[in-house]
Amino acid sequence: MMKKISYLLIFSILISLSANSQPWVPDLNNGKFKNPIIYADYSDVDIIRSGDDFFMIASSFNCTPGIPILQSKDLVNWTIVNYVYQNLPLERYNKPVHGEGSWAPSITYHNHKFYIYFCTPHDGLFLATTDDPRHEWKLQLIEAVDLWEDPCPVWDDNGNTYMIHSKLCGNELYLNKLSEDGTQLLDNGTLIYKDAKQPTIEGPKFLKKDGYYYILAPAGGVTKGWQTVLRSKNIYGPYESKIVLHTGNTNVNGPHQGGLVELKSGEWWFVHFQSKSAYGRIIHLQPVKWENGWPMMGVDTNGDEVGEPVAEFIKPNVGNQYPIQNPQTSDEFNDSKLGLQWQWHANQQKEWYSFRDNPGQLRLFAVKNYSQNGNFWIVPNLLMQKFPAPAFSATTKVTFMGDRTGEKCGLTIMGVSWAYLALSKTETGIQIGSFEGKYMQCEDKTEQTEASLLNTNTCYLRVMVNDSSICHFSYSLDNKNFINIGKDFKAEAGKWIGAKVGLFCINPNVSESKGYADFDWFKLE
């Protein structure tokens, strides 16, 4: 009996240690979870259940690969399993088109096939389909519409197919007829909802239940909004509205825009985002109860008949217990391809990196980007991942083989402003330096804040981020003693995306380079 107790104790300690090594763990390992369930920038989420699996998708904007597919068994523990596309099929995305790209996708299932619809602000309405979300998706342009956003279809039980969408910077919802296979628009669309009491209404999601057409639509804007639900017996309206989730007495600002899902157990849950400054739009999970024909989200604590976000709650009843999992972060670079946690800032090119030249390490080539002073706003080959927690450290080991003077490689924090720690090739040798820059229209502004020469081309680079998103860089020659360099830097969100942390290797010269940097590993803790 004592041996059994000892084994259980050791097992419990190991689980605890494993969980504590992760930047953020929402599973409290006691039958409850805490919000957010993902402390990372997965904006405009939608969700679907397929058997015992849940799949969640999110916007990617200008980053590739685009539209992540996350999988869970219990709505609390998530991992990244795929992306909808590797590149957007438009040449202009070969350079960063900040704030554009894929906006607010929706995921549905019809006729043994998964459908994802999304719009870009100025390129059109896209459709991606697959038999399995973990496998390859087929991407096609449906129509080159402009200023559409946030499309969502519904295959009605009367045999008709429709699509709802919002318009950029508006408070209007439109309904179009679709072909049965969902690949063609059949009419010009009809305005079905507009109400000044629901400003900036967007992100609509369709649901038909008990004879009602329900539209879940966030309103009020990203940072201070709320979740509205519309309902009508006629798909064209008129619709009555009700706010079902708001900030209330909590500190969760703007709780809205997400997906509603029904479990096998009959429970309903709502996954949504909260705008969190540099951290982007982090993900929360709310219980849902149907009351008087409305899906009430969270918990009504003050009797105003509007739900408020929960900080902790009993985990969803999925009939089983599942191990703690989190979206991937650290990478040993031992695979033959990039981990799913990584995204580029533009359409990716195979010439940017290699795993073949030095197996077990990621080689980033010094890609030509004639940007004078190192304006990262226009650099496409930034290899980035999302901030994973309120506070964390990122450390990497790099060996730099520069070819031309001015080439740099290193570790960066990127948003509308940026900072980075770089090894640079100078006329006198390898230099370690810290840099800061900020996007300013018609101005190229990146400044070196501190620098010193090194007698080696191998170095450990680190950035520490505190829970106020203040970053500080340091470096080491032995991975034990780290030397602070530069000054404190306040991370900022990018355009519609959170700040990111990652790696780079650039050549700012007009001529091509044979330079490169080998990254041995990247650790987030």
User: What is the rounded distance in angstroms from the CA atom of residue 407 to the CA atom of residue 119?
Assistant: 37
Known catalytic residue at 132: no
Q: Where are the beta strands (DSSP E) in 121-221?
A: 124-130, 138-143, 148-155, 161-167, 172-178, 190-194, 205-209, 212-219
User: Which among 224, 197, 326, 216 has a CA at the least distance from the CA of 261?
Assistant: 216
- Looking at 27, 44, 74, 331, which residue is catalytic? 44
The CA–CA distances, whole Å, from 113 to 128, 129, 133, 135, 161 equal 10, 7, 9, 12, 15
Which residues are CB-neighbours of 90 under 8 A, at least 6 positions away? 123
User: Which among 229, 250, 225, 267 has a CA at the least distance from the CA of 301?
Assistant: 250
User: What is the rounded distance in angstroms from the CA atom of residue 25 to the CA atom of residue 16?
Assistant: 10
User: Which among 44, 47, 152, 134 has a CA at the least distance from the CA of 83?
Assistant: 134
User: What is the rounded distance in angstroms from the CA atom of residue 224 to the CA atom of residue 451?
Assistant: 42
User: What is the rounded distance in angstroms from the CA atom of residue 514 to the CA atom of residue 254?
Assistant: 48
Q: Residue 110: is it exposed, middle or buried by C-beta count within 10 angstroms (0-12/13-18/19+)?
A: middle
Known catalytic residue at 44: yes
Which residues are CB-neighbours of 236 under 8 A, at least 6 positions away? 175, 190, 192
User: Which among 379, 377, 342, 382 has a CA at the least distance from the CA of 364?
Assistant: 382
User: What is the rounded distance in angstroms from the CA atom of residue 9 to the CA atom of residue 166?
Assistant: 54
User: Which among 267, 269, 247 has a CA at the least distance from the CA of 256?
Assistant: 247
- Looking at 202, 331, 492, 518, which residue is catalytic? 202
The CA–CA distances, whole Å, from 56 to 70, 78, 434 equal 5, 9, 38
Q: Return the amino acid letter for 176.
A: N
87 in Cβ contact with 71 (< 8 Å): no
Question: Can you read off the two tokens belonging to residue 487?
Answer: 């000054």
Region of residue 25 (left: phi > 0; alpha: psi -120 to 50; beta: else)? beta
274 in Cβ contact with 36 (< 8 Å): yes
Residues annotated as catalytic (active site), given as ranges:
44, 202
